Structure 1
């Protein structure tokens, strides 16, 4: 009798699992249809690409956060790294008069060095991930304001010492955040897709990525099996900070100035995208595809609410509801079964 009951329940359990596996995609499709019905302009290609452009930086930062989470870490400094990159890129061009390639190389190198410092604090000195990256977050948040006395960087600005700056943004640099392929697809979306595809391949289809997940599952077992766990964890933070710097470059090229408030919400949005990604395909772990889908999910939701004239101050509440729902769907319902 028990075997018969189990056999009868098996199809229902399988159906439940498949439903949960694709639930976020179904919800995303229902949202799109709902917003389209309420506001037909929502489905226009210009608006859809606008959504992708809006979430491109969040998705790039979220990919970096996901890689650190895969190695049983957590990077709280990505928002400050991105904001510092915005200021550094602006300072390099406006004050030092560097051109676009020099500026981009300098900022990406800065991001890699910040990630290296994070990694060394965690791997070599044994500082817990959250504390090390939290300290870096506060350090960078204050450091980026010192050269300009807390002011945004623009062409013709006056520095705290009273000198005026001679430089300006290199027009070639603005291409990254403002140009479109075929006059339709924002270049930042192409960059996001390239980063996501490369990271997905490395994390899901190579031994390199499998070692990251092995470390996240059981670092001691991974070490005993011969994996250089410390080196992998170090690389995770270098990659995360470098991607955050890339996101900062996109923001700087989009706004065309060193805005001191440019990265205020990037950390929370990137972390939310990474955590919502746990529910994508019922992976229940950080993964690149889930992070990108999570970023798009939140982007579609906020864009639709904006088009329906929902108050701006409800956005954080909506993000929280979505995050709680995604995590409950992933862990709570899964536990019952």
Structure 2
């Protein structure tokens, strides 16, 4: 046995001396320094580069009024994306937020226009409808064990159909024609219209970002969500109630979608058909872009806000450059693809 071991060892030594590549090497990180830098600061650099480019092409881009317009335009997207961020923190993914926005938009406006309710009843009805959606998602995911993406995709179509059925496929607005031929008599309170105006729409966005940032990073419950997102089985073995936190995440995601729907309703003062659908892609992009901001490597509220700012600057700058609206999705899709590439390549 010793003799055989001697010959084997001698063979290994000969191969190693003949092929230096076989010898153990200390991994060099030089090849990854640029990638790591781009992973951490690529989004910030892109935002700064876009600001410079758009400012050169159109000096009005940096006007105070235009900056406020960008912040206002990303407010609803950011609020919705914050909910998606929470679902991602537990390794979930809520695709139903766009339809939930449409539903809550229709509910809150109909409470005013059809039923002449006050603002508190209207807001509670909208949030209550969203929580039912969140509860349905969480029960089917946690109890029935349907994968998150597939379940919320199904819910997206279900809620979209419910919203269309509820409004009978019509736009809900003041003085609309009712099915019986009469006109609606309810009015939208003036105080409600203030929610979607500057500065309140921006204040609500900033408050949502700060609250979720504090919750996820500085509370026990937020840290538990990150642990679940990192390794669900390890979290369960550590005594963390995984199912409870997954349910909470989807209820919170639905709540932020409801807030987004309410703000949208206040901004446009009507309930359009599938009004929340256009916000889904932007919100998803913002949440995934945010995972790599400053090298976070996980869903986070601050990164989501930065991702929304990037999308808002892109849209605003391209509009000012007179780029056709139908080309916008090409740019946004490309940005999302790059963000996903960074996120998943880093995980390898």
Pair 18,96 (structure 1): closer, same or farther in 2 beyond 3 Å: same
Deviations 1:128-185 (A, max 9, x none): 212321222112111112233211011121222434321021111101002x3xxxxx
Q: Which entry has the higher C-alpha Rg, 1 or 2?
A: 2
Residue 86 (str. 1) matches residue 105 (str. 2) = yes
Superposed, 1:165-314 pairs within 5 Å as: 165-178=184-197, 180=198, 186-314=199-327
Q: How many residues align?
A: 327
Unaligned 5+ runs, structure 1: 181-185
Residue 32 (str. 1) matches residue 45 (str. 2) = no
Deviations 1:288-318 (A, max 9, x none): 1111111110110110010011111110000
Q: Is the CA contact (8 Å cut-off) linking 1:55 and 1:296 kept in structure 2? A: yes
Q: 1:98 aligns with which of 114, 117, 135?
A: 117
The structural deviation recorded for 1:267 is: 1.3
Pair 224,134 (structure 1): closer, same or farther in 2 beyond 3 Å: same
Segments of 4+ in structure 1 off by > 6 A? none
Q: Is the CA contact (8 Å cut-off) linking 1:93 and 1:103 kept in structure 2? A: yes
Cα distance in structure 2, aligned partners of 1:211 and 1:50: 37
The structural deviation recorded for 1:328 is: 2.8
Q: Is the CA contact (8 Å cut-off) linking 2:106 and 2:167 kept in structure 1? A: no
Residue 59 (structure 1) aligns with: 78
Q: Is the CA contact (8 Å cut-off) linking 1:63 and 1:274 kept in structure 2? A: yes
Pair 10,128 (structure 1): closer, same or farther in 2 beyond 3 Å: closer
Query: Which stretch shifts more, 86-95 or 127-136?
Result: 127-136
Q: Give the TM-score, by structure 1 length.
A: 0.91
Q: Give the TM-score, by structure 2 length.
A: 0.88
Residue 90 (structure 2) aligns with: 71
The structural deviation recorded for 1:20 is: 3.1
Residue 9 (structure 2) aligns with: none
Query: Which stretch shifts more, 242-251 or 261-270?
Result: 261-270
The structural deviation recorded for 1:216 is: 1.2
Q: Is the CA contact (8 Å cut-off) linking 1:74 and 1:129 kept in structure 2? A: yes
